[in-house]
Chain A
Amino acid sequence: MTDRISISVTVNGATHTADVEPRLLLADFIRENLDLTGTHVGCEHGICGACTILMNGDSVRSCLTLAVQADGAEIETVENLGDAENLGPLQQAFREHHALQCGFCTPGMLMTATDMLRKYPLETDEDIRDGLSGNICRCTGYQHIVDAVRAARDERDAK
């Protein structure tokens, strides 16, 4: 049996300490230990993007990160973007453009788009599609997701 390791992780502003197995994935720590089930686990090998979160401000696959590697990190999950009564701007854009059907991929899309909007100009739809290419939507509603991210880009650029 391997030794558990003590970690301290700040998630959505609250600091949590826990003793975890080294093999515990950050996605499972977030979902199972912290009950933050907005972060979804799809493929568990970095292809689908559903588990994307922000770690120290950068989008990260939480299924490709060990919880022990997040020791000392600041994590943001989809729960931090807003809630049902107070949607964040990107969530509002998704709502207005019908950018979700079943919603399984949505948390990963939102976290990925949050990082894309911070890091890239996203001048064209092709840029937006390239940026979203690491997130799979099984309902294949990509057009509306692109529409929502474009609207969020326009809102960003108007400021």
Chain B
Amino acid sequence: MSRTIIIGGGPAGMSAAVEIARSGGDALIIDSNPRLGGQYWRHGENAQFSHDGARFFALQDEIDREPKIEVRAGTQVWRAAHLDGVSSLWLNDGTAVTSDSLLIATGAYDRSLPFPGWDLPGSMTAGGAQAILKASGALLGRSVFIAGTGPFLLPVAALLVEAGVKVLGVLEANRVNGWLNHLGAVDLSKMKDAARYFKVLAGAKVPIRMGYAIIEARGNGHIEEVVIAKVDRNFAVKPGTMEVHKCDAIATGWGFTPDLTIAHSLGVSTDVHPIDRSVIIHVDAFQETSQRGVFAAGESTGVGGVDLALIEGRVAGIAIAVQRGLITTIDAKKRSVGLAQERSKIRKFADALLSVYKIREGWRSWINPQTILCRCEEVTFHQLRNVIHDLGANDVRTAKLLSRSGMGLCQGRVCGRIVADVVAGEIGIQATDDELRGIHNRPIAHPISLQTLADQGN
């Protein structure tokens, strides 16, 4: 088998590369960012904001020193195809690479929910607020609300507080009791992390409000104030609980959406997660997908955080090494001791978190006819309702085609799930599994210069 190509140089991709190299094999890591590390390890020049840097630097050092691992950073896969056991990837530098040994480690990105004003400058995702701070110390604002659901809100809030931002509140839409018990159930280090975040927030007197959400952002050309409200168990606004607060930016986080564009192009089987109905790559115990030679690891097989990604990367790397005949199954077993159990434990915990921090459909009551649902094409709720009720669109795909939702630059990455849920809600059904899968159908995975495409033919 040929050199393994690893798409995505985050925790999963890096740990897989290291396992393959330790087995004597070669690998090519392709990543769109200028540096390895993925979303989790975003290191700019400001190392003081690096999160859990030791593990990253260890992997980075090993990769740097290993001649068998080639890294093409700042490189995007714009098209992927799989035929007769061989995967082909076309890269935005005009080259193409092929292999019968592939690892998909494309990670995940923030899931977003719309509300009036979510498109105003100053409104960022929680991941975005963290990313710009980690990469270069940039602050999204001076006085900020953090809202959404999920344990990710805490570290983002703590990071902003430590960077000198006035965090006016952390609004967790779900009512979560016994937080620390949940986290402690897995391991003490998680509990310690959480305790540290709470300490930082308490020290800055940041109110943490359960069962609250930002239901509107307002301002003249940028965010100047928000309307927050108490929400019930289904995320519907409780009447009479609205409050208006001045702020200059917000960071909202609603969990993560696995990035399945390339997986979809390669044609590997996917599952619809029973808890949050996100679409994830189906893998077996060795992280192999439905196509022989194609493996997947990390958030794209199910959101579970950095620890899970690292383990899945190792399991995949070892399994790839076996498949390529680089090591024996006996060697593999020795190196895998404990990994499967650890993986299982973390997955269970991650699923438990998904149940607790679920997105509940009452968010649809936050939007009004003028609310933008597709940001790129500026499609409002009113326009989407129109194509359904006036033009007769009765499935997600047709509603998108007639309204232009999802046809803009982001190709539905931000709005895809939103539009699917709104359309289904309007028609009075649930989005089907295939409709949810269809959101990730992007044969052109990334915009590619026409000149590069033309030159390829030469």
Q: Do A and B bind each other?
A: no
Q: Residues of A with Cβ closer than 8 Å to B? A: none
